[in-house]
Structure 1
Amino acid sequence: MNTDKQLQGKKVAILLTDGFEQVEMTEPRKALQDAGAITHLIAPKGGDVKGWDETEWGDSFPVDLPLSGADPAQYDALLLPGGVMNPDKLRTESKAVQFVRHFFEAKKPVAAICHAPIMLIEADVVKGRKLTSYPSIQTDLKNAGANWVDEEVVTDQGLVTSRKPDDIPAFNRKMIEEIREGKHERQHA
């Protein structure tokens, strides 16, 4: 997709656990790497994480770093893949919630697709923010104070969100743009 290495030297954390929607990790990760970024899969446990491929279990991927050993300060941006199980499991991990919150407090770009904005609710960072998600969690986001819209990609001061796998091309373009821009002074927790 993007081969001009505009993210050369940038490090992107990809926070996930078993049950993440596989294509929502693999396609954005490939776009980031093609643009020159270094990506690390970070999960609550070491070893492998297993993706979900639409209606059944997908492939396994090696975790680069367990969450207990991951320092969010070492990363320039955060990618949160969706899937129904993934954010539902992650939001019960206080260290995962704090990891997400760090990126907002440090004004760093965050990209979340599909069901991943559940993590943003848990991190208490959606109030007053314009974003999108898989339609089934729009009420949760609105109840948390978000301005939810039904668009393929929404950008709000360093926060990039999309609804579903069909939106990945637009999601990837905006994610790369926001990461290239760096910190966003109006990004907030």
Structure 2
Amino acid sequence: MQIAFLVAPEGVEQVELTDPWQAVHDSGDVPHLVSTKSGRIQAFHHLDKADTFPVDRTVDEADVADYGGLVLPGGVANPDALRMDKNAVAFVKKFFDRGRPVAAICHAPWTLIEADVVRGRTLTSWPSLRTDIRNAGGTWVDEQVKVCTAGNNTLITSRKPADLNAFCATFVAEFAQAGRAA
């Protein structure tokens, strides 16, 4: 199964991309890097530039039907840029519309808020998003990982890089379960 990783051209927290990427790869699934621009994306270690990674497809080229799930890595700048791109927001919304599982960590729920998919859901994030999530109709909890199944899809959220082991184990299991049910 192919798993989409949606990131902006720059600003993704590298460890929030690379650890989940490796978890998907180790599970036997195929990760694909999707961005708003072709070429390479620039990752960061907090505020310092880190490595670059090649984009597999742009959001304009990517088809949600090709993917069994979506991972939204964080970093402050990454989801802030994605939520300002109408095609990226529409791409995220389509995963919910099609009942595909979505995993988001740290600041990534900003993109979920923009896609108007947190209403009625319980999720976690970096603590500074608590008010944004509540204002968007969601319930915020301070938990390492939160799984919320509502309607026909599952949302897996996590707070920060320190939660990555639990986040990766949880979303890989949830994605596999959704893949078996499809």
TM-score by length of 2: 0.94
Measured after TM superposition, the shift of residue 55 of structure 1 is 3.0
- State the distance in 2 between where 1:94 and 1:19 align: 18
Q: Is the 8 A contact 1:78 1:110 kept in 2?
A: yes
Distance change (3 Å), C-alpha of 1:110 and 1:184: farther
Q: Counting strand residues as a fraction of each chain, which structure ranks higher?
A: 2
Matches within 5 A, 1:114-153: 114-153=106-145
The aligned residue for residue 16 of structure 1 is 7
Quote the residue 2:169 is aligned against.
173
Equivalent residue runs for 1:3-152 within 5 Å: 10-17=1-8, 18-152=10-144
List 4+ stretches of structure 1 deviating above 6 A: none
Q: Which amino acid aligns with 1:46?
A: S
Give the C-alpha shift of residue 184 in structure 1. 11
Over the matched positions of the two proteins, sequence identity in percent amounts to 48
Q: Report if aligned partners of 1:80, 1:112 keep a CA contact under 8 Å in 2.
A: yes
- Is the CA contact (8 Å cut-off) linking 1:107 and 1:183 kept in structure 2? no
Alpha-carbon distance in structure 1 between the residues aligned to 2:174 and 2:95: 13
| Contact in 2 for aligned 1:19/1:50 (Cα 8 Å) | yes
- Do the aligned partners of 1:72 and 1:103 also contact (CA within 8 Å) in 2? yes
Helix, strand or coil at the partner of 2:60: helix
Q: Letter of the aligned partner of 2:32 in structure 1?
A: H
How far residue 73 of structure 1 moved from its aligned partner, in angstroms, is 1.4
What residue identity is the alignment partner of 1:136? S
Aligned residue-pair number: 176
Structure 2: how far apart are the matches of 1:110 and 1:170?
15
Q: 1:134 to 1:26 in 2, by over 3 A?
A: same
Q: Does the 8 Å contact 1:11/1:37 carry over to 2?
A: yes
Distance in 2, Cα, partners of 1:174 & 1:161: 9
The answer on whether the counterparts of 1:152 and 1:163 sit within 8 Å (CA) in structure 2 is: yes
User: d(CA) in 2 for partners of 1:93 and 1:112?
Assistant: 17
Q: 2:51 aligns to what SS in structure 1?
A: strand
Structure 1 position 51, deviation (Å): 0.4
Deviation at 1:75, TM superposition (A): 0.6
> TM-score scaled by structure 1?
0.91
Unaligned runs of 5+ in 2: none
Across the aligned residues of Structure 1 and Structure 2, the Cα RMSD in angstroms comes to 1.3
Structure 1: runs of 5 or more not aligned: 1-9
Alpha-carbon distance between aligned partners in 1 of 2:158 and 2:131, rounded to the nearest angstrom: 16
* Aligned counterparts of 1:175 and 1:59: Cα–Cα separation in 2: 24
Task: State the one-letter code of the partner of 1:181.
Answer: Q
